[in-house]
Amino acid sequence: MLKFLKNWSLPLAMITGAIGYQFFSLLAPFTPFLIFTMLLLTFCKVSPRELRFEKLHFWLIALQLIGSLLIYFSIAGFNSDVAEGAMICMLAPTATSAAVITGMLGGSVSCLTTYTLLSNVVVALSAPVIFSLMGNNSTMPFFSSFFYICKQVFPVLILPFICAWFIQAKLPKIHSKVLSMPMASFYLWTVALAIVVGKTVAFLVNQKSTNYTNEILVAASGLVICCLQFFLGKSIGGHFKNRISGGQALGQKNTILAIWMAQVYLNPIASVGPASYVLWQNTINSWQLWKKRKKDEAASQRQ
């Protein structure tokens, strides 16, 4: 039963959130606390001594930031909702679960873990500036908008990093307890996914317009951005002889965080982008794992 729930956690969480959207949308205020806790548990597993920054990381983070701005400003003149949805799919940091998939595909887990930390820190520093120029905050004075977003983003993304390393250095018993609960982050992830999906469905159900053209376009843009990021990540990673890690680092996103940021700082329609990205990235990862399994089976038969 536990194996079944783990294998089918993604669709079950999404279906549960969609069906029970009236209940789960009410839990939306707890999303930042769930994100904080998941990142804290993840960063507790990362030792500062294991971090190794590489040229690949800086190429990927530059593409992530510059690409998100280019995508937004190239589309905003035609459709601001699609521009915001595509932008947040590009800007979102790497998923904390990406290291697991990278290891299963035969990539460098240490490289991916370092980039996950780097991307979360960089997004925490850059998001207040980027969001201040668009969405619901563009009408506010820049510095008022900037500090308002900083006040909410920093505790969610930066504080877990600081607390995790404090726990490692000063509270070894608590650190050992955290390490003894490897599945805790997974369970929190399923709850958070149900909540953000419920919030997105509630918005779609309660919106006044019956025309869902924008929502379809935003979801389609999520597919395009997802494929583009996996392709570019693999291409850049291949140049540095780290193709698998490059693809996962840029392509596999913390969609729960992205949905939350879109719902809070942008037009809520933009959250459809990362919500659809959940499906696209997991479809690509499933296909990659299937290919890897077939390749391993063929290799074992030749032996």
Could you report the per-residue pLDDT of 193-249, keeping only the tens digit for each? 888 888 888 888 887 766 688 889 999 999 999 999 999 999 999 999 899 999 999
In the block, tokens 């999906």 appear at 197
Q: How far is CA 49 from CA 112, 155, 159, 165, in A?
A: 15, 24, 20, 11
- What's the full length of the chain, in residues? 303
Residues of the chain under the 70 pLDDT cut: 1-8, 10, 135-143, 145, 209-211, 303
User: How much is the pLDDT for 117?
Assistant: 84
Residue 253, SS3 per DSSP: strand
Average pLDDT, the chain: 84
User: What was the pLDDT predicted at 303?
Assistant: 66
Cβ-proximal residues to 296 (8 Å cutoff; 6+ apart), any chain: none
CA–CA gap between residue 146 and residue 133 (Å, rounded): 9
In 3D, which of 224, 120, 109, 100 has the Cα closest to residue 164? Answer: 120
Of 281, 298, 177, nearest in space to 222 by CA = 281
Query: What is the spatial distance between Cα 1 and Cα 41, in angstroms, rounded to a whole number?
Result: 25
At 234 the pLDDT is 94
| Residue 233 CB contacts under 8 Å (≥ 6 apart), including other chains | 60, 246, 247, 248, 249, 250, 251
Per-residue confidence (pLDDT) for residue 219, from 0 to 100 = 92
Question: Given this model, what pLDDT does residue 181 score?
Answer: 82
